[in-house]
C-alpha cells in the first residue's frame, strides 16, 4: 500500500464506514459462523466488528508491520492476527466457517496470485462456508489512488468463472456506488 492508502485505512472515518456501511452490506444474507478468516486485514478497520459478530476471528495480513500492530491490538481477545500470504494460507483444510476480504484482492500482484488465493480460501473453508469480498472497479481515479502501490483490479465479469474454477458455487456479484460485493459458497459435501 502507498502512503495515502496507509493513512486513509487508519482513519476513524474508514473504520466507521467499514463498520456501519460496508460490513452490513457485504454480509447481508450470510452467516459468518463461529470462526472467520479475515483475509488482508490491513490496519484492522473490520477486525473489531468481525470479532463482535463471530465467535472467533483470525485476521491475516501480508505486511509484517501491519500484522504486528493488529496482533498487539487484539491480543487477549477472541481474535488473532498473523502475517501470511493469501496465496499460500498456513492453515489446515476446512478450518474456517467463513472468509472475508475487503479491498484486498486488487493488492495481489497478478491474476494468477488472485486465483491461487481463491483456491486457498476454498481449501480452508468448511463445506457450506461462505466467502465474501468487497472490491473496487478499474478506473482512472482508482489507478491514481494506487500510484506506487499494487493495483490489479478484479474484473467483475470474470468473477463467476474464476471462483467456479477454484471450486466455489452459487457465486454472485452485486454492485453499489463505490464497488462491488462478491459472495460464493463452498458446497456442502454429499
pLDDT in tens, 20-66: 999 999 999 999 999 999 999 988 889 888 988 898 999 999 999 88
What was the pLDDT predicted at 150? Answer: 82
Strand partners, 83: 61
Nearest Cα residue to 102 out of 159, 152, 55, 45? 45
pLDDT range class, residue 76, cuts 50, 70, 90: low
Nearest Cα residue to 74 out of 101, 45, 99? 45
Name the DSSP class of 10. T
pTM of the model: 0.93
What was the pLDDT predicted at 190? Answer: 58
What was the pLDDT predicted at 173? Answer: 97
| Cα angle 174, 186, 112; round to 5 | 75
**How confident is the prediction for the chain on average, in pLDDT?**
91
pLDDT range class, residue 1, cuts 50, 70, 90: confident
- Could you list the beta-strand ranges (E) of 46-95: 56-61, 79-83
- C-alpha 91/C-alpha 9 separation (Å) is 26
Overall average pLDDT of the 178-190 stretch: 89
Q: Is the pLDDT of residue 8 over 80?
A: no
Q: Is the pLDDT of residue 88 over 70?
A: yes
What was the pLDDT predicted at 14? Answer: 82
Overall average pLDDT of the 97-107 stretch: 95
Q: Is 164 exposed, middle or buried (0-12, 13-18, 19+ CB in 10 A)?
A: middle
What was the pLDDT predicted at 59? Answer: 94
- C-alpha 156/C-alpha 88 separation (Å) is 23
What was the pLDDT predicted at 174? Answer: 96
Amino acid at each position: 500500500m502507498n502512503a495515502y492508502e496507509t493513512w486513509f485505512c487508519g482513519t476513524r472515518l474508514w473504520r466507521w464506514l467499514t463498520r456501519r456501511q460496508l460490513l452490513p452490506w457485504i454480509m447481508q444474507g450470510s452467516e459468518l459462523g463461529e470462526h472467520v478468516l479475515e483475509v488482508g486485514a490491513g490496519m484492522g478497520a473490520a477486525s473489531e466488528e468481525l470479532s463482535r459478530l463471530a465467535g472467533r476471528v483470525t485476521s491475516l495480513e501480508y505486511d509484517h508491520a501491519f500484522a504486528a500492530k493488529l496482533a498487539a491490538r487484539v491480543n487477549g481477545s477472541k481474535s488473532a492476527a498473523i502475517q501470511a500470504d493469501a496465496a499460500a494460507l498456513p492453515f489446515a483444510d476446512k478450518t474456517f466457517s467463513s472468509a472475508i476480504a475487503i479491498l484486498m484482492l486488487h493488492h495481489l500482484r497478478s491474476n494468477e496470485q488472485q486465483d491461487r488465493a481463491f483456491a486457498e480460501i476454498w481449501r480452508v473453508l468448511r463445506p457450506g462456508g461462505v466467502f465474501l469480498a468487497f472490491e473496487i472497479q478499474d478506473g482512472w481515479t482508482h489507478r491514481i489512488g494506487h500510484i506506487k502501490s499494487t493495483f490489479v483490479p478484479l474484473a467483475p465479469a470474470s468473477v463467476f468463472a474464476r471462483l467456479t474454477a477454484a471450486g466455489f458455487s452459487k457465486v454472485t456479484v452485486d454492485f453499489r456506488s463505490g464497488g462491488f460485493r462478491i459472495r460464493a459458497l463452498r458446497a456442502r459435501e454429499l
